[in-house]
Structure 1
């Protein structure tokens, strides 16, 4: 099976969670694909303090904090593709999602042992803003930047969804996202493209 992991970076239930669920639903329609959603809402994740103890101990997890992040490493490591979504906060990802990204300092150990560990994984990005031009593209760039640092390939949704899906919620939570038909369809495109690309790569590896 091809595993697609969704990560919702919102601290609340609303538009972003609705949108990423739609993207994952579309991904699940692709043959041999199963999906999983991680939501950061309510998660207790400490800030990375860059002590490098994980690196020194060659651990693939944080060795100083026993918090909710501990259970999130393995699903990430075993996924074939990723769909990460964030609401726009000051033209950027949420603090919760930035902290989640920062806590992957242990990936240095993995990549040092195998520089190509993530090279066959693919990722897509979704941003949800309260206004039409509210910083969605910058937020998408922040998500893509995380993929780049890990060596994860990024996928486009195709025509009109060049580097990620931008959704306009009008600050009406899930209802606003539902009303943005174009943005919602673009999010579904991202879900489908991530799943299709991850499946093709896995099939190629099996031959």
Structure 2
């Protein structure tokens, strides 16, 4: 069987709860299929410029930013080569972190990939997880923002189901400085990871319809 690559993107500026949940999801994905290769990339500490919507990438027919060469540059290939992507973010003001939003915005250039190969992103799956400081602390809005990024690329969403309708949502009481204390949420993260592994293989090996027909 061919290898399946799953990329985890942690949008937290700290190696705390969102990182812990994402690692659990990736470990579960690896355990689900011996041919799954997982990589966890932290946006923490990375320096990359904000997208200024200059459209130089589109004018030059590039699938990556042609204006800024920074820590975002090598992440394009990691994203494009992945069969599945899991993005994790703590809840900041009922939304994703600034690091996560900046990462998303730099994919203006991904439009080129979809034009050249309409099935390129359809074959990829994406899933989101969020950790809030309270039980109902904006996790749904944060996961929705992550899912909307995947939808903007034309990717296939993976959700947990069984009450986990859009993605894994966890909570870590207080300011996130303590260890994760949400057993049910952590199990949801692991379920999501396993499902990403399964669906990434299904989509990679599927004989998809010709979208240009």
Structure 1 stretch displaced more, 119-128 or 165-174: 165-174
Match of 2:155 among 152, 156, 163: 152
Name the residue aligned to 2:39. Answer: 36
* Aligned partner (choices 2, 5, 23) of residue 3 of structure 1: 5
Aligned-pair CA distance for 1:157? 1.1
Q: What residue is the counterpart of 2:119 in the other structure?
A: 116
* Partners of 1:157 and 1:193 within 8 A in 2: yes
What TM-score comes out, normalization by structure 1 length? 0.95
- Please tell me the root mean square deviation across aligned C-alpha atoms, in Å: 1.4
Match of residue 72 from structure 2: 69
Equivalents in 2 of 1:25, 1:205: separation in Å? 28
Secondary structure of 1:65's counterpart equals coil
Alignment of 1:1-207 (within 5 A): 1-31=3-33, 32-171=35-174, 173=176, 175-177=178-180, 179-205=181-207
Q: Distance in 1 between matches of 2:206 and 2:148?
A: 26
Task: Tell me how far apart the structure 2 counterparts of residues 79 and 171 of structure 1 sit (CA, whole Å).
Answer: 34
Q: Deviations over 1:122-172 (max 9, x none)?
A: 111100001110000000000000000000110111212111011111135
> Contact conserved, 1:3 with 1:79, CA < 8 A, in 2?
yes
Write the distance in 1 (CA, Å) between the matches of 2:97 and 2:67.
23
Unaligned runs of 5+ in 1: none
* SS at structure 1 position matched to 2:115: helix
Is contact 2:124-2:204 (8 Å) kept?
Answer: no
Distance 1:144 1:204 in 2: 22
Runs of 5+ unmatched residues, structure 2: 209-213
Q: TM-score, normalised by structure 2?
A: 0.92
